[in-house]
């Protein structure tokens, strides 16, 4: 299951805050802030999809993420690789390095990350 763009915006704030009441989420948005009813609707949808949970404090709900940001991002990247790059991570990496304006330092950093991952998997 996937979040809409607006649900992702709410989720980004919730990941950052870790736990938040409605007022905390509204404060996290830049001006002009969304309507309370809009955020409430988004939170209900996100809860129904299983992305967030909440604890009741009287009548107020304190929301928290049920899905880790890294897990959500990983699923998106894997879907992107599957759908646009014939399920080939090397095609994705080739496109990414050729089609972005990475500096030599950034490319060297990527190379180090890959080399370290190779070492880890060989253990």
> How is the chain split into domains, by residue range?
5-65, 69-122
**What does CATH list as the number for 5-65?**
1.10.10.10
Kindly report the number of other CB atoms within 10 A of residue 109's CB atom.
12
Distances (CA, A) of 44 to 11, 20, 25, 41, 71: 12, 14, 14, 5, 21
What pLDDT, in 10s, does the model give residues 49-95? 999 999 999 999 999 999 999 999 888 888 888 888 988 888 888 88
Strand locations in the chain, DSSP E?
A: 20-21, 52-57, 60-65
- 29 SS3 class: coil
With contact defined as beta carbons under 8 Å apart, do 17 and 25 qualify?
A: yes
Asked whether 37 and 46 are in contact (CB, 8 A), the reply is no
Q: What pTM value is reported for the model?
A: 0.74
Residue 1 has pLDDT above 80, yes or no: no
Question: How far does Cα 34 stand from its chain's mean position?
Answer: 20
């Amino acid at each position: 299951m996937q979040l809409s763009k607006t649900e992702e915006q709410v989720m980004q704030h919730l990941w950052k805050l870790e736990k938040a009441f409605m007022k905390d989420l509204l404060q996290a948005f830049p001006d002009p802030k969304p309507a309370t009813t809009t955020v409430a609707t988004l939170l209900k949808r996100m809860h129904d999809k299983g992305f967030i949970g909440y604890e009741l404090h009287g009548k107020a709900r304190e929301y928290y993420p049920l899905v880790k940001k890294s897990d959500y991002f990983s699923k998106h990247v894997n879907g992107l690789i599957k759908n646009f790059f014939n399920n080939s991570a090397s095609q994705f990496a080739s496109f990414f390095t050729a089609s972005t304006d990475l500096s030599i330092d950034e490319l060297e950093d990527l190379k180090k990350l890959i080399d370290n991952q190779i070492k880890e998997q060989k253990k």
